[in-house]
Amino acid sequence: MSEFIKVAQVQDIPEGTMKEVKYNEESVCLVNTGGKYYAIGNVCTHEEGPLAEGTLDNFEVECPWHGARFDVRTGEVIAPPATRPVPRYEVILKENDIFIRKTEK
Amino acid sequence: MRQADYLIIGGGLAGAHAAETIRENDNSGSIIIVTDEKHIPYDRVPLSKNYLLGKIKSEVLYVKKPNFYANQKIELIVGYKATKLNPKNHIVDISDGTQINYKKLLLATGGQARRLSIQGSDLKGVFYLRTIDDADAILKTMQESKSAVIIGGGFIGCELASSFTKKNISSTIIEVGPKILGRVFDQDTTRWLEDYFTRKGVKIMTNTTPTEIVGKEGKVSGVKLQSSQTIPADFVVIGIGIIPNTDLAKDAGLEIDNGIVVNQYLQTSDSDIYAASDVARFYSPVFGRQMRLEHYDLAIKQGKLAGENMTGKSKQFEELPYFFSFMFDVRIEAYGDLSKYDKMITKGSPTENGNFTKFYLENDVVNAVMMVTRKENVEYIKQLIHSRKKISDASILIKEEQMVVSKT
């Protein structure tokens, strides 16, 4: 089982925003939607667009490059042109610190 | 005279991806990319959509970050044009006055917006959309505009109508043909799309020919039609297709036929010169015929394949055409060749945003599958088209379980 790593503090990521963080070498899109935090892979599985620079609508993140959409809760594809899901990370809060770890398949 | 093991003309998706792939296969050969735009290679696809909606900055469009080229020892010559190609001596003249002697050359010169030559087309407020600079000019005008006329109901025109409407600019599409996107899709789909656009507030005028762009004090005020009616507009965008940039190749004596003709290895009539993407008329072994396409996916895949073959491989281009487009809340994607079919099978029935799939068959062989805001098993679809098998009972296609079970 992978380790939880501290990636941000709650003040870094206001409600309705996204932020790129690093989990070891992996680029991760950290999301705050409705006061809840989620983390999925930041690299779009279509052509590697940066998801955290896209748009967030409730539980859907849209890649800024070609509009592929992913569910931030599961990493699953909601809309093309992506066809494969992005990885998902577990998020926990300890006081003001946000920790994540990769969810094993 | 400068030397390049690999010379790439064109700073789009194909050029940048070719350079990357060449480097992956040859870590020491010298690579030069020449682009006549004042930007490092970028992706045009979001220009009509997220870029005009103000959702992304131009840096996000770059295919690779600026430091990529230096790190990979890929030289970029930005803002200069390749003016002459001499295949016999392997030399390309560049507009900065230099000459480059190449071993392998890739022509990824793309295309340019087809111009509409009617009276008034030189007025201020008349735009085309092909480059970041074009998009920036449109963005600026959008901020002070309430209405737009779009001439041409193809992908660019329809995507623009969606972006403008989202920004509260009332939009009219003028299309000379009987339907918007009528040269791409079947009648059923185009009819549905026309209704959809109308519901979203876009005014669509088909079978309509613009005769003049009218203006006041040098600036656009509307578009006059053959019926002599004038549609008022604060600005006009013309999206009537592209013309492939074949001049360099043509003057060099390479074979041209609505694009630079290449074989299945993306090689032109000169074996040291390759061509890829919008400018290339390639042979598809899957469909057994030549095609020229202007798709994102193809640009990347052909760029990569040409790059690989330039380093000495001999791989055939066997990929299926794939495209996608977004307009309002509709997402359309298609695999295969939609241009030829004698039978069409529809799965699902259209709801608010689509949610239907169409199979296009010719002699009972599936040539293409298009999805409108609907997910299917993509691997199954690709296999279905690739297999070229006759489907005796077409109803099998619309069975939901078939789509799931037949996974690879």
Q: Which of A47, A50, A77 sits opposite B300 (nearest CB)?
A: A47
What's the per-residue H, E or C state across A39-75?
EEECECCCCCCEHHHCEEECCEEECCCCCCEEECCCC
> 10 Å Cβ neighbour count for A90?
14
What is the spatial distance between Cα B378 and Cα B401, in angstroms, rounded to a whole number? 14
Instruction: Kindly report the nearest CA distance between residue B385 and chain A, in angstroms.
Output: 17
Q: Where is pLDDT greater, at A47 or A87?
A: A87
Does residue B301 belong to the interface with chain A, where contact is any CB pair within 8 Å?
no
| Pairing label, strands B126-128, B74-78 | unpaired
What is the spatial distance between Cα A41 and Cα B191, in angstroms, rounded to a whole number? 39
Predicted confidence at residue B406, as pLDDT, reads: 36
What's the whole-model pTM score?
0.90
Does residue B371 belong to the interface with chain A, where contact is any CB pair within 8 Å?
yes
What is the spatial distance between Cα B84 and Cα B148, in angstroms, rounded to a whole number? 40
Alpha carbon of residue A52 to chain centroid: 7
Does residue B382 belong to the interface with chain A, where contact is any CB pair within 8 Å?
no
What is the spatial distance between Cα B40 and Cα A40, in angstroms, rounded to a whole number? 30
Cβ contact B244:B259 at 8 Å:
yes
B326 to chain A: closest CA residue:
A67
Contact list, A54 vs chain B (CB under 8 Å): 55
Q: Which of B46, B324, B373 sits opposite A81 (nearest CB)?
A: B324
Q: Which of A47, A54, A81 sits opposite B333 (nearest CB)?
A: A81
Q: Which of B43, B50, B324 sits opposite A80 (nearest CB)?
A: B324
What is the spatial distance between Cα B283 and Cα B302, in angstroms, rounded to a whole number? 12
Q: Which of A47, A64, A67 sits opposite B326 (nearest CB)?
A: A67
Predicted confidence at residue B407, as pLDDT, reads: 33
Contact assignment for A79 to B300 by CB distance below 8 Å: no
Contact assignment for A64 to B46 by CB distance below 8 Å: yes
Instruction: Kindly report the nearest CA distance between residue A3 and chain B, in angstroms.
Output: 31
User: The tokens of B147 are what?
Assistant: 């209405």
Q: Which of B46, B373, B375 sits opposite A66 (nearest CB)?
A: B46
Instruction: Kindly report the nearest CA distance between residue A52 and chain B, in angstroms.
Output: 11
Predicted confidence at residue A2, as pLDDT, reads: 82
Does residue B166 belong to the interface with chain A, where contact is any CB pair within 8 Å?
no
Contact assignment for B296 to A66 by CB distance below 8 Å: yes
**Mean pLDDT for chain A overall:** 94
Contacts of B345 (CB under 8 A, 6+ apart): B358, B359, B361, B394, B395, B397, B398
Predicted confidence at residue B405, as pLDDT, reads: 37
pLDDT in tens, A22-53: 999 999 999 999 999 999 999 999 989 999 99
Q: H-helix or E-strand containing B203?
A: strand B203-205
pLDDT at A104 exceeding the cut of 80 = no
B13 to chain A: closest CA residue:
A47
Return averaged pLDDT per consecutive 10 residues of chain B, 408 residues in all.
97 97 98 97 95 90 95 98 98 98 98 96 97 97 98 98 98 97 94 97 98 96 97 98 98 98 97 98 94 96 98 96 93 94 92 92 96 90 94 83 40
pLDDT at A105 exceeding the cut of 80 = no
- Interface size, chain A vs chain B, as Cβ–Cβ contacts under 8 Å: 38
Instruction: Kindly report the nearest CA distance between residue B53 and chain A, in angstroms.
Output: 11
Does residue B331 belong to the interface with chain A, where contact is any CB pair within 8 Å?
yes
B330 to chain A: closest CA residue:
A79
Does residue B159 belong to the interface with chain A, where contact is any CB pair within 8 Å?
no
pLDDT in tens, A8-27: 999 999 999 999 999 999 99
B44 to chain A: closest CA residue:
A65
Contact list, B43 vs chain A (CB under 8 Å): 65
Burial A22-56, CB ≥16 within 10 A → b, else e = ebeeeebbbbbbeeebbbbbbbbbbbebbbbbbbb
B53 to chain A: closest CA residue:
A64
Predicted confidence at residue A42, as pLDDT, reads: 97
Predicted confidence at residue B408, as pLDDT, reads: 32
Contact assignment for B45 to A80 by CB distance below 8 Å: no
What is the spatial distance between Cα B393 and Cα A33, in angstroms, rounded to a whole number? 47
Predicted confidence at residue B349, as pLDDT, reads: 85
Cβ contact B100:B2 at 8 Å:
yes
Does residue B17 belong to the interface with chain A, where contact is any CB pair within 8 Å?
no
Contact assignment for B43 to A65 by CB distance below 8 Å: yes
Cβ contact A77:A69 at 8 Å:
yes
Instruction: List, as ranges, residues 24-83 from B with C-beta within 8 Å of A.
Output: 43, 45-46, 49-50, 55-56, 60
